[in-house]
Chains A and B, each alone.
Chain A
């Protein structure tokens, strides 16, 4: 199992608050890695460090290394290049409301200078097919992205992220606002995506982590308590804290 991302001595702060403490982890390529832990443990900060969004917060600070295919994303790699390679999907679907379904998918590409209508249309179709949305929206491509259902909007956002040909997709509780059917579709999509790219997904739902991930990281009070294959974490975790969390004894 090759390591796509190697994180060494990662620390993060909000002003004086130390929110991530000496995180060391190797995340494999073409796998789904779930990040679990109680509220406030640093899950979101962890993934926001991966695509350099943490530094956008005033007073935020990061130290350590995050190597993506050997290149340090905090060591000279262009921020825009990092964010192109590392896509992000948020808790609440956030399609651009003033754009059509098709334009939503290719918005990032347009910003980067792709203007060929034919090329953009082809990419939009391809990515909408990848997320299983094409059949549902092919006759409504010109409608506003905001007119879609919550589950469809979330898949539209993933299609938008995929349009940039990312190598990694970060998902911050992507199903928390979705109904069971939409959640099932999105989980199926995540399982499919791992054939192509590395996926890191934050979830509060430990059953979901067990269902869709290959690897699981458990964070607690900013520390990485345990990182292992999901089967091991959910059958016999090594750390009693992990055991207590996944069995619902705290969190």
Chain B
């Protein structure tokens, strides 16, 4: 890969700032889920709004870069990919906020949440790794990460199936099912980031979304 242009360094610095926000929300949601604690929604909403503002700024910086520098080839791919990665991060943040919403909606004191907690932990790790590979432009590691999504999907399906045989309250079924679905979508966005990383490095689009 060629040396990154200065404007891309600035754009990626903003994506890193977004990542910090999303990771902070993720940590707080993880803790709230583990301890079955509600009331996190205002904080998560505020942080995700902040992330969204950064996403808009990133898009603005990308458009400005296209106008000013008229990038081509890998430079052009870097700009378009940055826009998509910022969007994916913004979506991850909104999914995390959704978990805080359902934590507020359901009384889950009697529910077992260990499986969804583990699922969330792994999905967050996938997001973190996908960004690491994006910044490092490591398309091979990105391709491996996409494969690991199958495991998240499988665990999501297992959570749904397990409730078909268990005698637990409807609230717990609903809470775990919806949360697992949200987490599974978060992992999908980690995969999207990885697909973008592959495109960034190789110029070849892999079929997704």
Contacts and interface: CB of A to CB of B under 8 A. Distances in A.
Contacts of B74: 236, 243, 247
A234 B72 contact: yes
Label chain A's interface by main secondary structure.
helix
Contacts of A207: 70
Interface string B59-98: 0000000000011111111000000000000000000000
In this complex, the member of A243, A247, A249 whose beta carbon has the largest number of chain B beta carbons within 10 angstroms is A247
Interface of B: 2, 70-77, 202-204
Nearest to B76: A235
A244 B72 contact: no
Contacts of A234: 72-73, 76
Contacts of A242: 73
A184 B98 CA distance: 50
A246 B203 CA distance: 15
B30 to A, nearest CB: 39
Interface of A: 206-207, 210, 234-237, 242-244, 246-247, 249
A55 B203 CA distance: 41
A247 B77 contact: no
A247 B202 CA distance: 16
A244 B2 CA distance: 8
17 contacts: A206-B70, A210-B72, A234-B72, A235-B72, A235-B73, A235-B76, A235-B77, A235-B203, A236-B73, A236-B74, A236-B202, A236-B203, A236-B204, A243-B2, A244-B2, A247-B2, A247-B72
Contact of B71 (A236, A237, A244, A247): A247
A244 B72 CA distance: 10
Nearest to A242: B73
B2 A249 contact: yes
